[in-house]
A and B are shown apart, each in its own frame.
Chain A
Amino acid sequence: MTAQRKKRIPVTESVLQRVARGDAAAVDECLSQFGDLVWSIARRLSPDNADAEDATQEIFLEIWKNAGKYNPDLSSEATFITMIARRRLIDRHRKSSRRLDTVSIEFNQDSAHEVGKDFVELAEEASKARQCLEQLKPDEKKVLELSIFHQLSQTKISELLSIPLGTVKTHARRGITRLRDMLSLEAVSGGAR
């Protein structure tokens, strides 16, 4: 005879919160909802598929370990997971001798528009970030696109845009600071997450 004990389940509990509690079923759900997202980011920022697979596994280990730190008041799950993914990939790039810069990467204005579903559907902040990005100065926007989306180094960006290294840093810092402030203002003024 199987004894089953059912308790109440909170309606608003997120997948990550359930992972943090050790709910095995949440693993599948997390992979279903965010597996492709993590893979896409890892593939874009890795030299090849094998490296991207390693990176994806490392990222999910971090996700399982840090699921308990997710705070729904600060961001969506997609943003939290993307944050973990980016940190892991940046660390890997810094330690790896095979820097993304030295791999033939086609800097293409259309590289953000390949076949596939938009990330932006996964998180409201992404849609807001897209709007806020348009309000930045063109140089700041360009530097952020090259650094964040393509993960190009400051030196590479400096060569590509023919601007001094110090200017690259200034544009990146100003751009990300303004974007952060704009997104924070959106949240405070009631742009619901």
Chain B
Amino acid sequence: MNSHSSNPTESSPNDERINELLADQAVFGLSSDEAHELARLMNNRKRQNDESFDRAAAAIDLSMGKVDPMPETLSQKLREQGLVAMKGSSSESSGELVNESYGSVTPSERPNRVNEIIAWATAIAIGFVALWVWTDARATNGKLNNQLAKLNDRLDSLSKDQTALSEVKERLTAENQALLAQIAPNGEEIYRTLANRGDVIRWDWSAVKDSKGSGDIVWDEESQTGAMRLVNLEVNDPNTSQYQLWIIEANGREHPVDGGVFNVEKDGEVYVPIDAKLFASTPAAFAITKEDPNGVVVSDKNDLPLLAQGPANE
């Protein structure tokens, strides 16, 4: 990996971080800290503003939504707002194309000099009124801006508190899970408790294709507990892949129930408790797949080393 380089043409870890932040911005938005970080990194790397992620997110949004008609009252407000906005912009530019019309001019019967004086007097009066309105509005505007700035600061502060609380919650949840793991019966205890009972499922694992591995699985549908005994299943590197158990129900439900993600840390015999994420009705089979770290919601079943089926399904 390249060390940080000030040469904008070379790739650096900062480019990766920039892309992460651009992706986050397009999907979730950024906190003010993240936005500052992105601006600083973009400036350091001399990168132009990149809206490609935003365009991709917009395209996804467009691909999924339905159009509903806008309320007429809102439409009218927007029309007026738009016309006000247009009045502020200039239509004059070389080569630009516009359809203009000029109003008709009717000669006045008053002498030109009097007309001129009246016109000047009116302009000066309007000017004074405009100045008065402008200074008054500026003062009010200033007060409102101050109030708005204070409110925004408060909101930023609350947003940071919310982030901090989320982090604490995440840490406590992780600690809670660690504690639960300590007091919960381990896989071998569960296996031995169930294995000798006659009223639970106990099926042997079959290796699929060139896979290695054997053992059996026990499952008690009533208590929704069970465990796997795995023999000589290949040790996995959790940073690149993990095993995941699937409970395939006999009722024909489209997606099997996730039975938990686990690692095999040693050769020989290992015991793994089953951790069903949803209630699993009577199984027709159990399958172990190899997936990306942390498992998946739906498996593509490309790497399925072990399968256990009931007697009727063999």
Contact = CB atoms under 8 A, between A and B. Distances in A.
B132 to A, nearest CB: 28
A59 to B, nearest CB: 10
A interface, size bucket: 35 or more
B62 A129 contact: yes
A39 B51 CA distance: 23
Given A176-B23, A177-B23, A10 B294 contact: no
Contacts of A113: 66
Contacts of B166: 155
A40 B56 contact: no
Given A10-B97, A180-B52, 16 more contacts: A5-B100, A19-B86, A39-B74, A40-B66, A53-B74, A65-B85, A90-B29, A95-B155, A137-B296, A145-B60, A163-B297, A165-B170, A173-B20, A176-B56, A179-B60, A180-B55
Interface string A164-184: 110101001100110110011
A112 interface: yes
B128 interface: no
A40 B187 CA distance: 51
Contact of B81 (A60, A80, A176): A60
B54 interface: yes
Interface stretch (B87-95, B115-123, B216-224): B87-95
B254 interface: no
Contact residues of A: prevailing secondary structure: helix
B104 to A, nearest CB: 5
Interface of A: 1-10, 13, 19-24, 27-28, 30-31, 35-41, 43-44, 49, 53, 56-57, 60-61, 64-65, 74-75, 78-80, 82-83, 86-87, 90-91, 93-95, 97, 112-120, 122-123, 125-130, 133, 137-139, 142, 144-145, 147-149, 153-155, 161-165, 167, 169, 172-173, 176-177, 179-180, 183-184
